[in-house]
Amino acid sequence: MSLYSGPVFEMAQTQFHTIADYIGIKADERDRLLLPKRAIAVSCPVRMDDGSVKVFQGYRVQHHLTLGPTKGGTRFSTSLDMGEVAALAVWMSWKCALAELPYGGAKGGVAIDPNAISKRELEAVSRRYMQEMIPFVGPHTDVMAPDMGTNEQVMAWFMDTYSMYQGRTVTEIVTGKPVASGGTAGRREATGRGVAFLVARAMQTIGLAASGATAIVQGFGNVGAIAAHELGQMGVRIVGVSDHTVAYYDPKGFDPEMLNAHVAQHGTLLGYSQQSIIDPAALLIQRCDILVPAAVERVITAANAGQLKCRILAEGANGPTTPEADGILDQHRDRIFIIPDILCNSGGVIVSYFEWVQDLQQFFWSETEVTDKLKTLLNRTYSKVLARAERDNVSNRTAAMAIGVEKVRDAKRLRGLFP
Ligand code: NAD
């Protein structure tokens, strides 16, 4: 059995072979492009608040080192396994290459429910995980960032732990840190802001006005909440939202600021409204102009793809659409415009790159500079993807992935096979 198993890795594998067929990658080049360079599994013993010691499984996958260090988020989630981490690392590689960032993809995390532990326990897990990773990461080897279940505070603990072992402050070891500890202005907002910016570009492309348009956002964390806020600012009405506790739908719309205030106070969306509760699965197939999955993988499947009633599918999450669903959506290309994940949520890694550059130089930019540079890169990438899709009459996803895979393939070919 492969080290990388499970439905998420199978999905990344299927997508890769589809692209490899399209751009004609030979059989003996495929494993070299797809299989991760390194996969690390660590046991993280942690003393819990009740005095007992629990061991949590940690992972890190570094997909390829051809273009520079690897870069990728850290996920704390109960069901995390090596296959999921590897798939996310592979997607990061195509995402970084598509945006022309000097990185390979990575991903990591701990199989733990971050909502079920205390803040002290979260700090202990975070520090122990980073401590176990010290031999394998570094500012020029592998740079971590936040992902589901982690945040700025966790990144500050990672940076502090790594720095304590080095005997000096190494801010460039992680991105997504608080601004007060070497982070960049605009990183926390970057992914959601990028999603909204690309939605605006897509609306221009298909001729849809923001004012009066409606959106449904699945997942109300870093990506979803900020995307909802930014869309709201553009005049889009947020008619549906959900998180892991509850889903709401109301054609009259929700105020993103009030939803945010509720989450800030209660931790989740639960209890915000009694009247608007809807089955979470049904939320995705309600009528709206813009559907933003911003939570977990594999939520748009063969079972619901044919029932989507949106005009723009903006993939804030990584891997929300299965290949089977993609096949169905491809038949409706004229009806549903897809902003594929490796483009749609790339604002996060783009501003992480800006943060890394600023930390290496110890020269910091204003939020306006960061956001302007972010928009420039997203604009360039969006145009590239659309031009390729049109040229070859392929989907936006195929175009985006092909550009990413080709860049890595070309770099590997030019560097040759060592020794
Ligand atoms: P987060 O932990 O801040 O928030 C996740 C949200 O999703 C929470 O509101 C949670 O309750 C909700 N959720 C979890 N399971 C759900 C389910 N089954 N149905 C509905 N909601 C559910 O995480 P995040 O950083 O916002 O990441 C969300 C997605 O975006 C992930 O796929 C992640 O890989 C991707 N992403 C994040 C970033 C980033 O910068 N944070 C960058 C690129 C991609």
pLDDT above 90 (res 419): no
pLDDT above 60 (res 328): yes
Confidence of residue 115 (pLDDT cuts 50, 70, 90): very high
Q: pLDDT by residue (tens digit) across 347-364?
A: 999 999 999 999 999 999
- Closest protein CA for atom 23 of ligand 1: 148
| CA 261 – CA 246 distance, rounded (Å) | 16
Domain boundary among 149, 183, 217: 183
Range of the domain at 60: 2-183
Q: Is 309 a catalytic residue?
A: no
Sequence-separated (6 or more) residues with CB below 8 Å from residue 276:
248, 249, 250, 254
pLDDT above 90 (res 160): yes
Query: What is the count of structural domains for the chain?
Result: 2
346 lines ligand 1 (CB under 6 A): no
- The pLDDT of residue 182: 97
234 shares its domain with 253: yes
Q: pLDDT by residue (tens digit) across 25-84?
A: 999 999 999 999 999 999 999 999 999 999 999 999 999 999 999 999 999 999 999 999
Domain boundary among 293, 328, 344: 344
Instruction: Provide the CATH number for the domain around residue 22.
Output: 3.40.50.10860
Q: Does some domain include residue 370?
A: no
**Active-site residue (options: 26, 37, 54, 107):** 107
Ligand 1 mutation target, pool 148, 220, 244, 291, most atoms within 8 A of CB:
148
- Provide the mean pLDDT of the chain: 97
Phi, psi at 8, each rounded to 5°: -75, -40
- The pLDDT of residue 2: 81
Atom number, ligand 1, closest to the C-alpha of residue 316: 30
| CA 71 – CA 101 distance, rounded (Å) | 10
Task: Specify whether the CB–CB gap between 162 and 126 falls below 8 A.
Answer: no
DSSP-assigned states of every residue in 186-204: THHHHHHHHHHHHHHHHHH
Distance 317 CA to ligand 1 centre (A): 6
pLDDT above 60 (res 1): no
**Max CA-CA distance within the chain?**
66
| CA 162 – CA 178 distance, rounded (Å) | 16
Q: Does some domain include residue 381?
A: no
147 lines ligand 1 (CB under 6 A): yes
Q: Does some domain include residue 409?
A: no
